[in-house]
């Protein structure tokens, strides 16, 4: 039915929509910044430089609602209880993941965020939504924060700058249980920049299969077989 929410949680939906609105309000500035950098020819999607990182330090860059809802439904269908989110920002998509784990009966979302100010804002958002008990937010470089993951992982959402996609999948990949799903955002838009991630996925030793779904920018669905 049109307009039906996958969450069935009006209070949580209202909090998420407020954050999504804040993210949308930042989009003109974000698009303008990167368009200007691209026009100058001094921008590489392989790795953001210091100025780009400075500019993005306070930007939400929230995952689009349709993708977040899809992630929620996948977590429900997998009966996911251990979820990893790579790139938390202000925690918009984390709300969906934590709601899925909650609705599955309980578990943990291991979330990662490099920027201290974003991590602080995310924690406040989780507390306000009553989801803090389901979220293990780890602040710092993911190459350190994801070294320890206790137990098999059911689902991964990867929404991060492309240079960190390969280090993330190298750490998480061995912990994926058979049937686990990894979603990676904007893999069509930044196909070349994701090449090292795809090299890992294509290695038969890692037992992964992948398909690019036709969401805006491309959404990669990787399955551990």
3-state secondary structure 95-146: HHHHHHHHHCCCCEEEEEECCHHHHHHHHHHHHHHCCHHHEEEEECCHHHHC
Q: State the Cα–Cα distance between residues 63 and 158, nearest whole angstrom.
A: 10
Residue 221: phi and psi, rounded to 5, are: -115, 110
118 and 162 share a domain?
yes
* Mean pLDDT confidence for 127-133: 97
Per-residue confidence (pLDDT) for residue 162, from 0 to 100: 92
Q: Which domain holds residue 52?
A: 10-56
pLDDT of residue 61: 87
Q: So what's the pLDDT on residue 3?
A: 56
Same domain, 33 and 88: no
E strands in 134-218:
135-139, 153-158, 176-185, 208-213
Same-domain check for residues 220 and 113: yes
Residues 162 and 132 in one domain: yes
At residue 1, the pLDDT reads 42
Query: What average pLDDT is seen over the chain?
Result: 94
In this prediction, residues 90-110 reach a mean pLDDT of: 98
Alpha-carbon distance of 136 to 54, in angstroms, equals: 26
Same domain, 105 and 198: yes
DSSP 62: P
pLDDT at 130: 97
Confidence category of residue 4, pLDDT binned at 50, 70, 90: low
Please check whether residues 175 and 75 belong to one and the same domain: yes
- CATH number of residue 142's parent domain: 3.40.50.150
Same domain, 159 and 134: yes
Give 34-62 pLDDT, tens digit per residue: 888 888 888 777 777 888 888 988 888 89
Give the CA angle between residues 199, 202, 208 to the nearest 5°: 125
Within 13 Å, how many C-alpha atoms sit on residue 66's CB side?
A: 8
Alpha-carbon span 176 to 82, nearest angstrom: 10
Structural domain count, the chain: 2
Instruction: Indicate the pTM of the whole model.
Output: 0.93
Residue 33 in this model has a pLDDT that exceeds 70: yes
**Domain co-membership, 44 together with 106:** no
List pLDDT tens digits, range 59-77.
888 999 999 999 999 999 9
* pLDDT the model gives residue 210: 98
Same domain, 51 and 90: no
Closest by CA position to 208, among listed 173, 184, 175: 173
Helix, strand and coil content of the chain, in percent to the nearest 5, comes to 50, 20, 30
Mean pLDDT of 209-215: 98
Q: Domain for residue 119, yes or no?
A: yes
- Residue 146 in domain: yes
Among 80, 84, 125, 78, which residue's Cα sits nearest to residue 105? 80
Q: Are 138 and 197 part of one and the same domain?
A: yes
């Amino acid at each position: 039915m049109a307009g039906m929410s996958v969450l069935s949680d009006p209070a949580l939906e209202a909090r998420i929509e407020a954050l999504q609105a804040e993210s949308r309000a930042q989009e003109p500035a974000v698009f303008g910044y990167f368009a200007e950098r691209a026009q100058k020819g001094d921008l590489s999607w392989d790795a953001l430089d210091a100025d780009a990182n400075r500019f993005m330090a306070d930007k939400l860059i929230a995952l689009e609602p349709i993708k977040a809802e899809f992630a929620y439904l996948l977590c429900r269908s997998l009966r996911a209880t251990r979820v990893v989110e790579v790139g938390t920002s202000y925690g918009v998509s984390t709300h969906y993941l934590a709601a899925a784990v909650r609705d599955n009966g309980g578990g943990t979302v291991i979330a990662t965020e490099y920027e201290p100010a974003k991590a602080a804002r995310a924690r406040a958002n989780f507390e306000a939504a009553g989801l803090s008990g389901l979220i293990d937010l780890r602040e710092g470089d993911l190459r350190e924060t994801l070294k320890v993951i206790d137990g098999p992982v059911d689902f991964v959402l990867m929404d991060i700058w492309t240079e960190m996609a390969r280090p993330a999948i190298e750490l998480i990949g061995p912990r994926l249980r058979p049937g686990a799903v990894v979603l990676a955002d904007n893999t069509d838009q930044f196909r070349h920049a994701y090449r090292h991630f795809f090299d890992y996925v294509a290695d038969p030793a890692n037992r992964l299969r992948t398909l690019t779904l036709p969401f805006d920018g491309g959404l990669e669905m990787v399955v551990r077989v």
